[in-house]
Amino acid sequence: MPLGQINAAIARLRVGGFVPYSSVDCPGELAAVVFLQGCSWACDYCQNPHLRSFKKTGEESWERVLGALQERRGLLDMVIFSGGEPLAQIGLEEAMAQVRAMDFKVGLHSAGTSPRRLRAVLPVCDWVGLDIKAMAPDYAALTHHANSGRMAWECLDLLLAAELRYEVRTTWHPQLMPLERLMELAEQLRARGVRYFRLQALRGRGCLRPELDDWPPAHLDAATQAELAAMFDDFSWRYAG
């Protein structure tokens, strides 16, 4: 891409927030996290609803983020692009390339909203955390987007074929997905080739659907945790948020 087009793409990058240090967003890496503004899905349990709008909020800019990263060269391992939904952003691939040129690894948190855009950025990524929310036919009830299940599962296939470091994450509550359906989902992930699976208990706090905040935290008994752990090379059960 010509330099003028690259600069124009990055100029359209909408930054909704920046965390200069995190030890929990990518296993084994010290990372900064760039939150990009905008997501076309409306997931009931979204805990970043302020990042859904594609209109920029706050005072963060990509130039300020680059300045902060420059000061942290040699101190951090990775820069993770999160959201919102990073794949919805014009300029994501160019911003990732800038980060890599600063000798940082590049990470991505995504719900898999666009197979085409994921395919474009995978060569720039070192690690991807991909949300798989449900079986494909069950997606629209959670995301309120008709084609979301197909797109997310296509993104999963692209990620597995890329042979990158990754984790697949599912946020779960029995009132959203019965335990039997969760186990079917886990079986399908295993059959697809997923080796690294993080199951997150929905713990309501600032959810897009307010009544979820009143639900008690999900509980998963030890026997079920052991059954899930036996399906994957690396499995963990943790609380979201």
Give the residue extent of every domain in the chain.
Answer: 3-181
Segment 98-155, tens digit of pLDDT: 999 999 999 999 999 999 999 999 999 999 999 999 999 999 999 999 999 999 999 9
Strands 196-201 and 165-172: parallel
| pLDDT score at 59 | 61
pTM: 0.91
Which residues, other chains included, contact 210 with Cβ-Cβ below 8 Å and sequence gap of 6+?
Answer: none
Residue 4 predicted with pLDDT over 50: no
Q: Report the distance separating Cα 92 and Cα 228, nearest Å.
A: 34
Segment 178-201, tens digit of pLDDT: 999 999 999 999 999 999 999 998
Residue 3 predicted with pLDDT over 60: no
Supply the DSSP symbol for 207.
Answer: -
> C-alpha dihedral over 234, 238, 240, 241, to 10 degrees?
-120
CATH of domain 3-181: 3.20.20.70
| pLDDT score at 88 | 93
Nearest to 78 by CA among 118, 19, 132, 131: 19
| pLDDT score at 58 | 56
